[in-house]
Structure 1
Amino acid sequence: MALDYKTSCEKCNTQLNMQSKACICSYECTFCETCSEEMNFICPNCNGELVKRPKRKKEN
């Protein structure tokens, strides 16, 4: 099962791509690094931990 890579931060709507620094919770809520830090790496939707989202290789 692959992660659902969302294309924007759920708090500030900053655009995200496969290489962007972003954080996710176990439900795949997605936030940019800045918002995640401001929220102390706690998801406002489920109160779960926000962790670094892995990056995918760029397609040629």
Structure 2
Amino acid sequence: MCDLALTVEEREEGQFYWVVLEAANDESQDVLVYRRVEVAARAQPNYSNALIVGAAVVRRLSAD
């Protein structure tokens, strides 16, 4: 995998989920499109925790 991105979504107040995205290469468009690769199964209590856990997932995926 390459061109990974990480975002955090607050789906409900105080429930933060990390989402790993991968760039989808589409030469016909001038915009960069991402697709979801992995999503947290459990919410984290704050943005920072979700970001830390998500970053660990990105590192794992990058090593594959």
Higher helix share: 2
Fold shared by both chains (TM-score > 0.5) = no
Higher strand share: 2
TM-score by length of 2: 0.24
TM-score by length of 1: 0.24
Q: Which one has more relative contact order, counting CA pairs under 8 Å at least 6 apart?
A: 2
